[in-house]
Copies of this chain bind each other. A is one copy, B any other.
Amino acid sequence: MTEPSPSRASLACLPHDHSHCVSDALASAERICAQLGVRLTVLRKRVLELVWQSHKPLGAYDILGVLSGEDGRRAAPPTVYRALDFLLETGLVHRIASLNAFVGCNHPGEAHQGQFLICRSCHAAVELEHPAISTAILDGARTVGFQVEGQTVEVLGLCAPCQAAA
């Protein structure tokens, strides 16, 4: 379930050319949907783009607010939630339970559990892939005979730039 690879994390709150994040994410999404034989419609792509506008997890109603009044489009909650459900199922976005919000997945197409470092100052969510965490969870679960199917790991704190700023 967890291959012994080194820990990885996204740039997120570090300064970077964010347009690359967006274009890469959209390109990956096209490729993955093609592979899966599912349709990345205009709406779904637009929602994915909005989620990727920053590394801050975005609420469904934030997305709704942007969509409404855009083009001639009228949007209601189910419109957004259906698109988000699709993006969650295809692994293109993650849901942050502790924030009721959604964030783009940094390495879609690869099986992984979402692990997030959420900065309480700049609100960026850094996706971490630290196999030791999953391993420790599987380990702990095994001690009580629990069969793991999904992991929610959300860590609140201060990212490096915000520590420096404070």
Contacts and interface: CB of A to CB of B under 8 A. Distances in A.
Interface of A: 7, 9, 97-98, 115, 117, 119-120, 126, 128, 130, 132-133, 135-137, 139-141, 143-160, 163
Contacts of A157: 141, 146-150
Nearest to A162: B147
A109 B151 CA distance: 27
A98 B9 CA distance: 23
Nearest to A140: B130
A12 B67 CA distance: 45
Given A147-B158, A159-B146, A152 B9 contact: no
Contact of A153 (B143, B145, B153): B153
Contact of A139 (B130, B144, B147, B159): B130
Contacts of A152: 97-98, 152-156
Given A130-B137, A146-B158, 19 more contacts: A97-B152, A97-B154, A117-B141, A117-B144, A119-B146, A128-B141, A136-B136, A137-B153, A141-B157, A144-B159, A146-B157, A147-B157, A147-B163, A149-B157, A150-B156, A151-B154, A151-B155, A152-B153, A152-B155
17 contacts: A7-B140, A9-B143, A97-B154, A117-B144, A117-B146, A117-B148, A126-B146, A130-B143, A132-B140, A136-B136, A137-B153, A141-B157, A148-B155, A149-B158, A152-B154, A152-B156, A153-B153
